[in-house]
Amino acid sequence: MNKTLVLIQCRDELGLVAIISKVLVNHQLNITAMREFVDEIANQFFARIECDGLSFDQNNLNTELRSVLPEYSEVIINPKAEKRIVIMVTKEYHCLGDALIRNYFSTLNASVCCVIGNYDTLRELTKKYEVPFYHVSHENKTKLVFEEEIKKIVNEYEPDYVVLAKFMRILSPEFVSQYEGRLINIHHSFLPAFIGASPYRKAFERGVKLIGATAHYVTNDLDEGPIIVQQTIPVNHTFTVSDMVISGKEIEKSVLNKAMQLVFQDRVFRSGNKTIIFE
């Protein structure tokens, strides 16, 4: 049996599940898994449907679903199974290294097209996994020139997503808008507390009992885009700053990978500044 994935986002109305099911049956598709949710505040309906079927006309199915769903509905049928991604980095290796290993052993559910760094620090790491590395320095350049150089490389690869794996530069609204909904970032979860340099030292001095990480979509509101995954771990008085940094890197790797898996498997829907996730 061929597997079919249907993603739907639309205005909520009475009887949508029944309507959708009827259309799928008409196309000889058997629902094997269905997750749906209604955001009552936004009046939005979300559905992720897995089906089995022998053969059907995908264009006809798309057209028929749109004809019976509310106006301006978003319908995606069989999105690309393996996504293409570009990773952007600065100097920290842990998130990049984890993604490259998963890419090498084909467990990332995506293909890493290239890595772009505003320092040359991680070139050798990337080279070990035979992934192209591009050094685009931000020094002695305007933000406009710097970002234009990055965009030129990114656009050559036509990625589905751009992952900021500890890329420590603030992107302009113009850059973000060009890749709206396709930029994924990871950072520690101390924000909005302990802003700026040395957040772990500040957290240590404050005596925090939890540290964590947040993966989110990038928007023009710095570090405040729709959250995909968050996780925390406990720490105590025995932890040094170094212990916190090590633990923080481990949780950042875990959270970023979890977020990528969810996004690449088309399990994440955006609803305003929130996400609907069908795990």
| Cis amide prior to 192 (ω within 30 degrees) | yes
Tell me how far CA of residue 30 lies from CA of 55, 94, 114, 202, in angstroms.
Answer: 12, 43, 39, 55
Active-site position among 12, 39, 160, 223? 223
Q: Extract the tokens encoding 20.
A: 């959708």
For residue 272, give the 3-state DSSP assignment: coil
Which residues does 18 contact at the CB level (< 8 Å), separation at least 6? none
Residue 223 annotated to the active site: yes
CA pair distance 150, 86, nearest whole angstrom: 11
Give phi and psi for 185, each to the nearest 5. Answer: -125, 155
What are the residue numbers of the active site?
223
